[in-house]
Amino acid sequence: MSLASTPFDLPATGDYARDWALVDVETSGLIARRDRVLSVAVVTIGPDGEQTGEFSTLLDPGCDPGPVHVHGLTVERLQGAPTFDQVAGRIGAMLQDRVLVAHNAQFDYDFLAYEFTRARMWLPVSQRLCTLALNRQVDPPTDDMKLGTLAAHYGVPQQRAHDALDDTRVLAGILRASLREAARLDLPLPLVSCPPRAESPFTPKPPKTPCAYRNPGRPAPGGPLLQGMKIAITGETAHARAELVGRAVAAGLNMVTSVSRHTSVLVTNESASRSAKARRAAAEGVPVIDEHTFLRLLADVQAGTVHEPTAASAAIAPVKETAKETATAAAQAAEPGSTTAPVPEVPVLPPSSPGATVPAPRQPGDSAGALAKPLVSRRVLVLGGAHTEAAAARTRVVELGGSAAVNLSASVTDVVLLADGEKDRRMSRITLLALPVHDADWLTSPTATDPAAAAVRPKEPHVMPRGGVIDLPIPNGRPSPEWYVTASWAPQADCEIDVVAFILDDDEQVTFDEDFIFYGAPESPAGTVRLLTGGPAEQTIALDLASLPPATRKVVVAAAIDGATTFGTVGAIQISAAPGNSGSPLTRATLDAATTERTMLLAEIYRRGPVWRLRAVGQGYDHGLDALARGYGVAIAD
């Protein structure tokens, strides 16, 4: 199939008419900083929809080609192919001044960025568009968002899956159909800015060794140290800091970079130290010892209690179907010198009522009470109203069995108008789509009509209320998948929202500063938790639960707003959880903060017995991201 004679037929105006460079790479593995590109294809298309160029080549990676059973690229096939640096100039010329488009675009972008860095060149891409993110906004009625599934849905022929050139041609057809749908729904494109990147800022450090023992608390006065105790060091030391840390880790102690109420001991030679760690230790009553005493105690560290792995963490590491469909650690913070008072611990969201237990998990497909809920399988968009009124309406939608939407998409079945809702810019498109529009009274006793515009999907995601819990299933006899927790919101013109993650132990604290995943450090050192950006109104935390260390008991996903804007202005945030980055969402929740919050806990993924559970949280705080991070034990320089 050639696109040269096939009009692309893009929408002719606005963001939809651009110069596009469609890209697909086949790789030797999943980690861009380590693995290499084996083949690459680029198809360029102009704003008028006509193809303007096409290039593809196999590449000699200089390493083992990896999963040959997936891409079919053996050492023999790659022998004699050019190296990446020999074709980098031609690829760069095709990417220059165009929007890079790929299915899971961050994967392709990161691999190309590393390959260009190795070739001592900059990747000439200033914007990228992910067709996965675009289709999550469109929300077509498909089982999943895999390239082949979307191709079948949009009627795009596919000849050779995992062939870079054929996949790129298929991608062109998917982009064509997706842009048509986006234009029909009047959706803004999820374009991601791509500033120049050098290798050093986004290369994670080698992973540190997690402590294998549970924290036993603080030592008895004059008593020994026990394996698993959390030890912090501050100030100058006679021995090299690295030597002290190395000896302590070898003895089974948990060396931490900040002090909290969970710290067992602070080591310092400066009894009158005014460092942030010393001030916090004094406030929390943490025992303080000098270096000489610490070295003496290191000689006789007592046995601790070993963490027990869950079924998920004991599972075999996932074997991905393809590198595409399953795809900088923070430097240790300097010793803070500020005199700011210690930040209190971040409270954990309590149960909905005093003394209540954790809600029982709902299983996928649980339809208890469905007959009494008239909005089951319906997706309702609420427009207008004060924030509290709109939040109450969305809560009512969920109570009636429906799903509350935050953006217009192909899956929206109904629209509820509150005060001034008719002034929303989406109303003109809603009128053209002939979607049923209701007033607030409709939520008192909604009629279960069957609008023709509703997109019917084979399996609807389970809808969770705030505080709802669901088990993340472990496939029987199959590798445990990566889980992708995606947060999305209505596009914002005057603020940016950052999604972050904290990898926590039994004490609700990070083990290392590198267990704080954010825009400046988008990947944990071992690559088990990653931040992925799908656009200005969507970010994802990817979690390889089977590879998290046994000490990890919880991963908290949060969002923060930089500046004075609050979540009351932003409105609702939707979270969804899916197995694999192109899998169908298992569950979905719409969360509303109150009015003044600047940070918000979105979800907790935590161990309960042999399984992992996901909890929709939706609790906001007025303080900023730095205070939230300190509450979880991250050392933040003032």
**With 80 as the cut, is the pLDDT of residue 616 above it?**
yes
- Residue pair 511/503 in contact by the 8 Å Cβ criterion: yes
From-to residues of CATH 3.40.50.10190 in the chain:
203-303, 379-444
199 phi/psi in degrees, rounded to 5: -70, -40
**How many CA atoms within 13 Å lie on the side-chain side of 528?**
21
Note the pLDDT of residue 22: 97
Written as six digits, the tokens of 159 are 């000849």
**Tokens matching residue 406:** 């935050």
Question: Which residues are within 8 A (CB) of 156 and not within 5 positions of it... i.e. 6 or more apart?
Answer: 150, 170, 173, 174, 177
Q: Which of 48-52, 284-288, 432-436 is predicted least confidently? A: 48-52
Mean pLDDT of 359-366: 48
Least confident piece of the model among 159-173, 524-538, 576-590 = 159-173
- pLDDT for residue 340 is more than 80: no
Q: What angle do CA 595, 600, 602 make, to 5 degrees?
A: 125
pLDDT of the residue at 259? 86
Mean pLDDT along residues 68-81 = 87
Quick one: pLDDT at residue 578? 93
Q: What is the pLDDT of residue 11?
A: 63
Which pLDDT band holds residue 277 (cuts at 50, 70, 90)?
A: confident
| Closest C-alpha to 590, from 490, 448, 443 | 490
What is the percentage of the chain residues whose pLDDT exceeds 70?
82
pLDDT at 361: 53
Mean pLDDT of 108-124: 92
For position 207, what pLDDT does the model report?
56
Question: What digits encode the pLDDT tens for the residues 470-481?
Answer: 999 876 656 677
Does residue 503 register a pLDDT over 90?
yes
Please, which residues have CB within 8 angstroms of residue 103's CB and are 6 or more apart in sequence?
24, 130, 131, 132, 147, 167, 171, 174, 324, 582
Structure confidence at residue 337 (pLDDT): 35
Q: Please say if the pLDDT value at position 594 is more than 70.
A: no
- Among 47-51, 72-76, 543-547, name the one with the lowest average pLDDT: 47-51
Give 139-151 as a 3 state SS string: CCCCCCCCHHHHH
- Taking residues 72-88, what's their average pLDDT? 92
Question: What is the pLDDT, as a whole number, of residue 442?
Answer: 94
Question: pLDDT at residue 354 above 50?
Answer: no
Predicted confidence band of residue 84 (pLDDT cuts 50, 70, 90)? very high
**146-171 residue pLDDT tens:** 999 999 999 998 877 768 888 999 99
**Window from 340-349, 444-453, 465-474 with minimum mean pLDDT:** 340-349
- Fold (topology level) of 203-303: Rossmann fold (3.40.50)
Which residues, listed in sequence order, are joined to residue 355 by a DSSP beta bridge?
none
Mean pLDDT of 79-84: 94
Residue count of the chain: 638
pLDDT at position 603 over 70: yes
Q: Is 604 in contact with 555 (CB distance < 8 Å)?
A: yes
pLDDT beyond 50 at 202: no
The pLDDT mean for the chain works out to: 82
Beta strands 403-405; 379-383: pairing state: parallel
Multiple choice CATH, 379-444, 1.10.10.10, 3.40.50.170, 3.90.1150.10, 3.40.50.10190: 3.40.50.10190
**CATH for 462-632, among 3.20.20.120, 2.60.60.30, 3.30.300.130, 3.10.20.30?**
2.60.60.30
216-256 pLDDT tens trace: 999 999 899 999 999 999 988 888 888 888 889 889 999 88
Residues facing residue 22 across a β-bridge: 43, 101
Which residues fall within 8 angstroms of residue 20, CB to CB, at 6 or more apart? 44, 45, 46, 98, 99, 101, 129, 175
Q: Of 332 and 596, which is predicted with more confidence?
A: 596
Segment 305-326 mean pLDDT: 52
Per-residue exposure over 324-354, b if at least 16 CB sit within 10 Å of its own CB, e if not: bbbbbbbeebeebeeeeebbebbeeeeeeee
All CATH 2.60.60.30 domain ranges of the chain, comma separated, are 462-632
Read off the pLDDT of residues 378-416 as tens digits, 9 standing for 90 and up.
999 999 998 889 999 999 999 998 999 999 999 999 999
Q: Is the pLDDT of residue 462 over 80?
A: yes
pTM: 0.79
Whether the CB-CB separation of 164 and 26 falls below 8 Å is answered with yes
Residue 346: closest CA among 545, 502, 230, 515: 502
The span from the CA of 455 to the CA of 132, in Å, is 18
Q: What is the pLDDT of residue 127?
A: 94
pLDDT for residue 37 is more than 50: yes
Contact between 110 and 175 under an 8 Å Cβ cutoff? The reply is no
| Alpha-carbon gap, residue 73 to 160, rounded angstroms | 13
- List, in order, residues 6 or more apart from 71 with CB less than 8 Å away: 26, 38, 39, 65, 162, 322, 323
**Report for 264-268, 323-327, 329-333: range of highest mean pLDDT:** 264-268
Mean per-residue pLDDT for 199-213? Answer: 60
The answer, yes or no, to whether residue 457 has pLDDT greater than 70, is no
DSSP 8-state class, residue 521: B
The mean pLDDT value for 292-301 works out to: 92
Q: What is the Cα–Cα distance from 78 to 60, expressed in whole angstroms?
A: 6
Q: Which CATH architecture has domain 20-193?
A: 2-Layer Sandwich (3.30)
